Amino acid sequence: MKKADLSADTANNNETNNKDAGKEQPKKLSKIKYILFLLKPYWKYGKGYVLTILLMSVVLQPVSSYLTALLPQKAIDAVMNDTPHKEVILIIVLFTLFIVLVSALEKVIQMAYTQMTLVKVSNKIKNDVNEKALQTDFKYYDNPDFFVKFLFAQENYPVHAQNVVMILPDILRGIATVIAMVSIIATTGPVLLGITAVFVLLNAVVGLPAIKPTSDYEVSLVDAWRPMEYSARVLKTKENAAELRSSGAGRKLLGTINAAMDRFQQVYRQFIKKVAPFHLLQGAVSPIQAACILAYIIFFVINGDKSQIGLYASLTVASAALAEGLNDAASSVMQILQCIANGEKVAEFFEAESEIEPKKEDAIAAPEGSYEIELKDVSFGYDENEPLFKHFNLHIKPGQRIAVVGENGAGKTTLTKLLLRLYDVNSGEVRINAKNIKEYDIHSLRQHTGVVFQDIRVLAMSLRDNLTVYRDVSDEKLIEILEKLGLSDVLERANGNLDTMVSREFTEDGIALSGGEAQKLMLARLFTADFGLLILDEPSSALDPLAEVKLMQNILAVSNTATTVMIAHRLSTVRDFDCIYHIENGAIIEHGTHEELMARKGKYYEMFVSQAENYQN
């Protein structure tokens, strides 16, 4: 199996041969590549910023630290040598001026450049994650582990990428500062170097065991918070408000939130038990280090010589800066190790290998006109060991309108997913105009396939954007479509403005739709373009019988120009279709026109009579 391209630019993901959505194998990547993986977005989207902070870290800030450490000795020695006050003040002013300029420059960059860049790159990274999700095969959404990886990448990729771009300059700044401080200490207090190095090394060693528990804790938090995020989302959605208040569902959700909180507290307690001893030890290292340095300077360097007060001051500042520089470098290295662990987890999301969604250069563009559809000897199951379809065959002529009926679980909706190539068949072929569906550019093919799913999903976008997901059309055409489908009231509530939001998710000025209106709006999309294939999965389930009759008339009108496959439970809606296929357990048990099936008095006849009696009763 090929290694996945970890580029944030997910459009160039390579086609791979992974056949199992739930068993993708982790890639054997060199650890340093995970740092490059996290750093790449900033180099791609904010190269100037990266170069600026590297320059600040390697040159300006170490020089500032060097002058800060040297200033006390120069100033005090000048006073001890009876240097005129003006010259002493001049020394202090010059040193301080440079230090202030560096600090001011750092603040300006922080306020005017850093925050803007961080926000921009963070949004770019999130967009890369979302783009990758869109380019990932639908089969992965059957795997709960994929959602954990997706959420972790969405929430943590920007954070860890920012950490890396901040940590690398810290390492370089620490190294440069250490070099500058060593140049001050080496000639007069060389033992200080050893003392400082020993304690810095001790501090790093003590912190090493906390790296993996911290990384595991961040991942487990995503899993622990998911039920809480879901419950919070359901509680604030208007569509769920009535059910939550008219039953005990609301209290059940509150119970879910409380259980999630308990789970979070349990995870946190386990995490603290693992890392607390190491953090406590690290907290004790710095005070002991400072005491040892102070004692050494007083008793072995100064040794009672008052003329060395300036040297004492500089050595104290320099040793503190040296310790800080070494600790920063060591801490940064520890953080880099942490970033490697987190980068590896983020990379697992990008390593999901897809066969269907990535664009292919040699793919054929979708044909025009009505499509001829053939499922030839198709076998398919979500679990290959439990096939739903076995050697299934179906042929639909161009422009033919067919209906698929059957009980729940018969395979009707699965059939639509195969026609959309959301899944590939395990064996056999799905053919469009006598060509294997795999030969087509699937994104082009889907743009020529109008779909209305059973689950109504009106997006929190404008009325115009909801209507033009397939093609952009004129306002006049959109208004004509809305009126044709009986949505004039919706347009009136929007004050005739097609840019009105079809949701109150973001603004109180949005309009709320009833279930029937939402379903009509989804169907209205089919009137914005000419399609080769229409797939309708219970398109009138939210409508009353009278509205359903009118809607079916519109559907039959638009389907005159396209091959149409309709999934139906209400058999009265498919009476006028060219052919009706009755599916049971993934197999066609009878087919024909409505009149032919009624004359045979088989299962279709029984279902139709039963529904008719229910309507009469």
- Kindly tell me the sign of the dihedral angle through the C-alpha atoms of 152, 153, 154, 157: positive
Q: What is the pLDDT of residue 26?
A: 40
Which residues are within 8 A (CB) of 128 and not within 5 positions of it... i.e. 6 or more apart? 8, 9, 10, 41, 157
| Total residue length of the chain | 617
Q: What is the pLDDT of residue 188?
A: 64
473: which DSSP letter?
-
Rounded Cα distance between 114 and 461, Å, is: 32
Q: SS3 for 588?
A: strand
* Structure-derived torsion over alpha carbons of residues 13, 15, 17, 22, reported in degrees to the nearest 10: 40
Which residue ranges in the chain fall short of pLDDT 70?
1-30, 110-112, 187-189, 192, 233, 235-248, 289-290, 293-294, 296-315, 505-506, 540-547, 558-559, 614-617
Q: What is the pLDDT of residue 415?
A: 93
Rounded Cα distance between 74 and 95, Å, is: 10
Q: What is the pLDDT of residue 397?
A: 95
Which residues are within 8 A (CB) of 566 and not within 5 positions of it... i.e. 6 or more apart? 401, 402, 403, 404, 534, 535, 536, 537, 539, 555, 573, 574, 577
Q: What is the pLDDT of residue 33?
A: 85
Q: What is the pLDDT of residue 363?
A: 92
Tokens for 385, please give them. 């060991």
Cα–Cα distances (Å) from 275 to 217, 333, 361, 522, in that order, read 11, 18, 51, 53
Q: What is the pLDDT of residue 4?
A: 35
Task: Judge whether 40 and 46 are in contact, CB under 8 Å.
Answer: no
In the chain, what are the domains?
28-350 (1.20.1560.10), 373-458+513-616 (3.40.50.300)
Q: What is the pLDDT of residue 309?
A: 62
Q: What is the pLDDT of residue 597?
A: 94
